Amino acid sequence: MNTPPATTEQIYPILYSFRRCPYAMRARLAIAVSGLSVALREIELGNKPKTMLAISPKGTVPVLLLPEGRVIEQSLDIMLWALAQHDPQNWLNQAPEDTQRLIDWNDGDFKYYLDRYKYADRYPEQTPADYRQQGEVFLAELETRLQRHKFLCGDNFSLADAATLPFIRQFAAVDNAWFENSPYPALQQWLNTFLRSNLFAAVMQKYPPWNVDDPLVLFRYETGLVPFQ
């Protein structure tokens, strides 16, 4: 794919995002913790900006356009880009091989069953309870880990936690009453504590959809946001 060069006016990386998308959410988590500055462009899924589609025809968020013209189209790659520049909470150095295994599971089988559980009417081959039960295999793995340690890969919050939390949040929200009464107390505490954190509040701030003539909206936070308080 040919990448259009960035304009001379582009000082900041440009992040195309959608507030509720779990992939975009985890990209914003890493950017916020890193303390880097990006120009935020909140999109409408039904009216995607032509400028975004020009650099990333796949049409999904997040998409990051760097000032030199390079485009990063995958959320995990955006997280790694941000943390490679500044990782004040040491997210990258917590059991990297174990972290990758969990993220692969999250982004693979778990996301597959999450989508079918959330949108079960589109997938009538099985019942919502069937899809939920298959997604619970991952929940059970996380529960076991959180019974042993405070976080997924040890006693410190890491990339594994940040990359999976938005998806567990989405799974829980399908039937919150069920989740709150499910046999995963450590997972519930892990999720609920994160949802009360100043980091989550920062990345979930609402912005109006971006238009081409809008002034710059800078997404930047001083380092010090924490996922657990």
Q: pLDDT tens-digit profile of 158-186?
A: 999 999 999 999 999 999 999 999 999 99
Tally the residues of the chain.
229
Q: Taking phi first (over 0 means left), then psi (-120 to 50 degrees means alpha), and beta for anything else, what does residue 69 get?
A: left
DSSP helix/strand/coil, 169: helix
CA-CA distance, 211 to 36, in Å (whole number)?
23
Average pLDDT, the chain: 93
**pTM here?**
0.93
CATH 3.40.50.2300 fits 91-197, yes or no: no
Nearest to 39 by CA among 224, 220, 225: 220
CA-CA distance, 97 to 10, in Å (whole number)?
36
* Environment class of 218 (CB within 10 Å of its CB; exposed 0-12, middle 13-18, buried 19+): exposed
| 158 to 6, 63, 71, 89: CA distances (angstroms) | 32, 22, 25, 8
Question: Helix 128-148 and helix 159-174: axis angle, to 10°?
Answer: 140
* Residue 222 token pair: 């001083």
- Tell me, yes or no, if the two domains 14-88+201-219 and 91-197 fold the same way: no
* Each residue's pLDDT tens digit, 82-118: 999 999 999 998 888 999 999 999 999 999 999 999 9
Domain spans, the chain: 14-88+201-219, 91-197
* Residue 121 token pair: 């009417």
CATH number of 14-88+201-219: 3.40.30.10
pLDDT for the residue 7: 47
* Each residue's pLDDT tens digit, 34-50: 999 999 999 999 999 99
CA-CA distance, 188 to 168, in Å (whole number)?
10
